[in-house]
Structure 1
Amino acid sequence: MQKPKKEKKEKAIKKKKEEVKEEKPKPVIEKPKEEPIVEEPKKEKKSFFGFKKKKEKPIEEKKEEPIIEEPKEEKPVEEEKKGIFKKITTKKIDQEQFEKLFWELELALMENNVAIEIIDKIKQDLKQNLVDKPLTRTKIDETIKNTLKNSIKEILEVDKINLLEKIKEKKPYVICFVGINGSGKTTTIARIAHLLQKNNISSVMAASDTFRAAAIDQIQHHADKLNVKLIKQDYGSDPAAVAFDAIKHAESKNIDVVLIDTAGRMHSNANLLDEMKKIIRVAKPDMKIFVGESITGNDCTEQAKKFNQAIEIDGIILTKADVDEKGGAALSVSYITKKPILYIGTGQGYNDLKEFSSDTILDNLGL
């Protein structure tokens, strides 16, 4: 009876062991199956996406190449824009627009002591080059500037005179200096004498300003400093007689040039102008030079105009040009008289006399 019980127990134990064996492999098989299936694709996705990012970086760099090319494509676009802009800004200026445009320029010229007659001339020159002409904005500026330059040069370079060359034409060469009191006339004569000395040209001075004793003393002072002969007479003597004596002295001493100082007189004083005309008749100067102060502006222009009407001057010397920042006086004097500016005074010394250049005035006017 005991054997069959034992056998039953042993059979039951075997069955349990077999069941345990069957259960163990199931979870073991499932786990490795689940782990590689679930985890492996996740790892592959992460790494693949990561490569994509890495690959995208060089792809982005490649995209930068067309970005470099884009400005090349934009250039024609910019050029097209410029072309459109040119079409918009290219226009014809009518008479009304020109008047508005010229108004500011006219004010600037007037502030620089430019005479009305010159402003009118410049206006006509500009009108010919601007009105009803298709021009861009930049072209308008260039046209205005170039027209101003050409107009001013045309005015200032009228019948230019080389004084040192002129002097060689005749001996003695007689020069008469005219102008109002305080214009620097006597000092200018001394500077001319010094200039002649530097060029080995001899000269003699004539003190024909006999209306002021101080004037005779002043020119004597300069003559002594420069070691130049001065012909003079007493205060109140006949100015024309002094000039005549100086010419005769030059002829007898073989002197190259006679420099005649005259009494400073206002251009509005008819009696004094008549006296000056007498000096001109007697001395018969080869050149008559008006000396005026540059800084007096339109007053200087009016003086030159009156002297030119009275004796027909040949040339102009402007003093105190170093303190005249405007330059309009030179332009106006030359245009009104139609005579050239020979020299400008630029200081207090004998060497402060410079040959006139239109470029100086253009610089002063900002051109």
Structure 2
Amino acid sequence: MFDKLKNAFQKLLGKDDDIRLGIVKETVAKIVNVSLSEQEANRISDQLFYDLLDADVPFDLANFIKSQLYRELRSRKFSENYREEIRELLKGILLQYISTAQLDLQRGIIMLIGPNGYGKTTTAVKLAYMLKMRGKRVRIIGADVFRAAAREQLQELCKRYEIDLYVDDSERPLSTIIRGLKSSESYDFIIIDTAGRQDMNVNLLRELQNIQQKVNPDLVLYVLESSVGNSSLHQLREYRKFIKIDGIIYTKMDLDSAGGSVLAAGYYGFPLYFITYGQGIQDISAANAQDIVDRII
């Protein structure tokens, strides 16, 4: 998980017998407060910049982090515990770019959107199960009328985990959703599992836009596969042209070897609500910025 992103910071911090940070151990032992020279600060921040690019962090974000790190390194003095001090400095910088949000609804309609293959259906079931375990009455509306066997997959998962489900034989997703909502008034949460739509299919995106306008969900969450990387930002921007997106569910986190997209999402204004990290029904949790940063550094 986040292997390349972790390596970027591990390389910067180095090992105890390294002088990667440009601070000679003997000097640190004698002098309590040590300042980094311009050359040292440049070398450290430049190295991190290229390693962040390798970890699939967008160029402009990597450049912001590089510039911020350089300023912090030049303005501070470091002690013999400089590696831990720089570790905490880096954590503080990253926390500025990881945006998370909490589900503060007591009841409502949650609509899941996103391209094909990102795990919307399994995520809908995981989210429903999590809310059910919190004592909520939850129902899923299966509105993916296009993908082969989508209804059957959802029916099997909901049966296995005893989650209420509404599906019908309609080929029109809005009709399915409207009928499902009319029969679901007693539920605390209704999760709408929509069909995957590719970012450049304008007609399908307009159909999704129409669903949002007619249904007026309380929360629209974009299901983002973590390993997709920077291309996900283009997809998000295309979706946002048509649909109001409240936040992201970051899926398959355990398979993300780069990690750059978790920084990029917050940087471009999309807070993380939940993360999923395995195949189990309980492998979902509320996103926590501090926990994500601790995993990276």
TM score, norm. by length of structure 1: 0.67
Aligned residue among 117, 129, 147 for 2:60: 117
Looking at structure 2, the residues matched to 144 and 343 of structure 1 have their Cα atoms a distance apart, in angstroms, of 29
- Structure having the higher helix fraction is 1
Aligned residue among 224, 239, 252 for 2:159: 224
Per the alignment, in what secondary structure is the counterpart of residue 193 of structure 1?
helix
1:90 to 1:195, Cα distance in 2 relative to 1, 3 A: closer
Aligned residue among 138, 146, 153 for 2:88: 146
Q: Which amino acid aligns with 1:355?
A: A
1:308 to 1:117, Cα distance in 2 relative to 1, 3 A: farther
Structure 2 alignment gaps of length 5 or more:
1-25
Note the 1:92-111 alignment, pairs <5 A.
93-94=37-38, 98-111=41-54
Q: Which amino acid aligns with 1:167?
A: L
Per the alignment, in what secondary structure is the counterpart of residue 250 of structure 1?
coil
Aligned residue among 67, 70, 76 for 1:127: 70
- Aligned partner of 2:6 in structure 1 is none
Note if contact 1:115-1:332 (Cα within 8 Å) is conserved in structure 2.
yes
Looking at structure 1, the residues matched to 37 and 205 of structure 2 have their Cα atoms a distance apart, in angstroms, of 49
Are 1:167 and 2:105 an aligned pair? yes
Note if contact 1:267-1:273 (Cα within 8 Å) is conserved in structure 2.
yes
Give 1:212 shift: 2.3
Aligned residue among 304, 329, 335 for 2:267: 335
Give 1:86 shift: 3.8
Q: Which amino acid aligns with 1:352?
A: D
Note if contact 1:250-1:257 (Cα within 8 Å) is conserved in structure 2.
no
- Aligned partner of 2:282 in structure 1 is 351
Per the alignment, in what secondary structure is the counterpart of residue 311 of structure 1?
coil
Looking at structure 2, the residues matched to 212 and 92 of structure 1 have their Cα atoms a distance apart, in angstroms, of 57
Looking at structure 2, the residues matched to 107 and 263 of structure 1 have their Cα atoms a distance apart, in angstroms, of 38
Looking at structure 2, the residues matched to 124 and 82 of structure 1 have their Cα atoms a distance apart, in angstroms, of 27
Per the alignment, in what secondary structure is the counterpart of residue 264 of structure 1?
coil
Note the 1:233-244 alignment, pairs <5 A.
233-234=168-169, 237-244=171-178
Note if contact 1:174-1:247 (Cα within 8 Å) is conserved in structure 2.
no
- Provide, for residues 203-241 of structure 1, a one-character-per-residue CA deviation record: whole Å limited to 9, x for no partner: 221121112241122112222223333222325x22112
Note if contact 2:49-2:63 (Cα within 8 Å) is conserved in structure 1.
no
Are 1:319 and 2:251 an aligned pair? yes
Looking at structure 1, the residues matched to 261 and 223 of structure 2 have their Cα atoms a distance apart, in angstroms, of 12
Figure out how many residues of one structure are paired with residues of the other and give that number. Answer: 272
Looking at structure 1, the residues matched to 132 and 280 of structure 2 have their Cα atoms a distance apart, in angstroms, of 15
RMSD between superposed Cα atoms in Å: 2.7
TM score, norm. by length of structure 2: 0.81
Give 1:149 shift: 0.9
Per the alignment, in what secondary structure is the counterpart of residue 184 of structure 2?
helix
Higher RCO structure (Cα 8 Å, ≥6 apart)? 2
Looking at structure 2, the residues matched to 243 and 334 of structure 1 have their Cα atoms a distance apart, in angstroms, of 30
Structure whose alpha-carbon radius of gyration is higher = 1
Give 1:294 shift: 1.0
Q: Which amino acid aligns with 2:207?
A: E
Structure 1 alignment gaps of length 5 or more:
1-80
- Provide, for residues 112-151 of structure 1, a one-character-per-residue CA deviation record: whole Å limited to 9, x for no partner: 22222321321232233234x3645868755643332112
- Provide, for residues 71-129 of structure 1, a one-character-per-residue CA deviation record: whole Å limited to 9, x for no partner: xxxxxxxxxx9599649x945633x6544332210122122222223213212322332
Note if contact 1:118-1:332 (Cα within 8 Å) is conserved in structure 2.
yes
Looking at structure 1, the residues matched to 259 and 143 of structure 2 have their Cα atoms a distance apart, in angstroms, of 31
Per the alignment, in what secondary structure is the counterpart of residue 348 of structure 1?
coil
